[in-house]
Amino acid sequence: MLERGRAVAPAIHLVRVSKRFGATVAVSEIDLAVHPGELVAAVGPDGAGKTTLARLAAGVLAPSAGRVEPDPRGRVGYLSGRFSLYPDLTVWENLTFLARLNGMAPGAVEAEAGRLLQWTGLLPFRGRLAGQLSGGMRQKLALACAVIHRPPLLVLDEPTTGVDPVARAELWELLRHQAAEGRAVLITTPYLDEGESCHRVALLYRGRLLAAGSPAALKARFPFQTAVLIPADGQWRRRALALAAAHQLPGVRWAYPLGAGVRVALEPGLSPVPPPGYRLVPSAPNLEDVYVWLSEGDGRSDAAGRGEGTSRGGGRPDRQQLDRRWHGRWWHSWRWHGRRWHGPYGPDGQGEVPAR
């Protein structure tokens, strides 16, 4: 990475890192660097190796092969994938305790804790027990605890999973602020759309790095045209049949449900006519399209030929797994009433979870 014409050393560099747990290879020969002021997302479905990668980058785990440079211990703020603060301590007590644990001078603790509570919007809740916070508030507190000693490196394991959309947007604003202050930020997430907010994205699949680069660079490599097939009349009956209709299109590479329609990837240069009763709306490629292309093997040899961050192996993904697991945020276990899905939705505190 260059900064004003000079090379800047990475805050963390995983050099051909692998991690085994018995016979299981959780991470295989991953090479990834994060520089100061950079926000990098490691993205992939369950079992991709995200949590193992985060623990290696934070120094929580030692690699089975390869190395992590420089040693992150003592210079990292780490947020684990599960809430790991003290539920019986207040917001203020958690924050000040972690500050002292990280060696902050007693005179600086209260001022910095107050600044962070103001920054995260948690100041009105400083006296509330951490165990009584909503999911979004817990993650904000965990982030404040991770940065209170002002580390040069932040490693955050799925900080937005299970967080409502409002809190999720607020967390991302806080993360961008950390990068703008010059910290190197490595975040793991199962949500490809979150990669759009990052300087670079590392696409993981079954413990291997498929590719890494800026969102724009990754999407520019995508060789197919994309569109959304939707019912012309909006009827729910046609929506249910849209996936089958999409596979009738000439040159279709894949199709998966997306909202009210079906997203399709088509061979370039074609002008397919949609089936009767449907419209085909052109759409720009997104990171999800790139991920499916790379994980199916079509793009891996292309990436390797370009000398980009990628590693081979892992086999072809199961199509049903991609459709129902990777795109699982559209397959909710809510009740079916007539022909429509119904489910409670809203930010923290809106009453989606019934009182017991």
Q: What is the pLDDT of residues 319-340, one digit of tens each?
A: 333 333 344 333 333 233 333 4
Distance of CA 46 to the CA centre of its chain: 11
208 DSSP β-pair partners? 205
Distance of CA 258 to the CA centre of its chain: 19
CA dist., res. 296 & res. 221, Å (int)? 15
CATH pick for 9-75+151-217 out of 3.30.465.10, 3.90.1150.10, 1.10.150.20, 3.40.50.300: 3.40.50.300
Cβ-based neighbour number of residue 16 at 10 Å: 13
Instruction: Identify the pLDDT of residue 270.
Output: 86
Every domain range in the chain assigned CATH 3.30.70.1800: 223-283
Instruction: Identify the pLDDT of residue 286.
Output: 93
Intervals of the chain under pLDDT 50: 5, 299-343, 353-356
Q: For domain 223-283, give the fold.
A: Alpha-Beta Plaits (3.30.70)
CA dist., res. 175 & res. 36, Å (int)? 13
Give the burial class of 356: count Cβ atoms within 10 A of its Cβ; 0-12 exposed, 13-18 middle, 19 or more buried. exposed
pLDDT in tens, 65-95: 999 999 999 899 999 888 888 999 999 999 9
List Cβ<8 Å contacts ≥24 apart for 57-62: 57/12, 57/14, 57/155, 57/186, 58/155, 61/19
The two tokens of residue 40 are 């990098």
CA dist., res. 203 & res. 209, Å (int)? 6
Q: In what side-by-side order are the strands of the sheet with 12-21? A: 24-34, 12-21, 65-69
CA dist., res. 276 & res. 239, Å (int)? 13
Instruction: Identify the pLDDT of residue 260.
Output: 77
- Asked whether 292 and 254 are in contact (CB, 8 A), the reply is yes
Every domain range in the chain assigned CATH 3.40.50.300: 9-75+151-217
The two tokens of residue 248 are 């009738």
Based on its alpha-carbon atoms, the radius of gyration of the chain, rounded to whole angstroms, reads: 22
CA dist., res. 189 & res. 206, Å (int)? 15
How far, CA to CA in Å, does 136 sit from each of 166, 233, 347?
9, 39, 9
CA dist., res. 242 & res. 231, Å (int)? 7
Question: Going by C-beta distance under 8 Å and a sequence separation of 6 or more, which residues neighbour residue 180?
Answer: 37
pTM: 0.79
Instruction: Identify the pLDDT of residue 203.
Output: 97
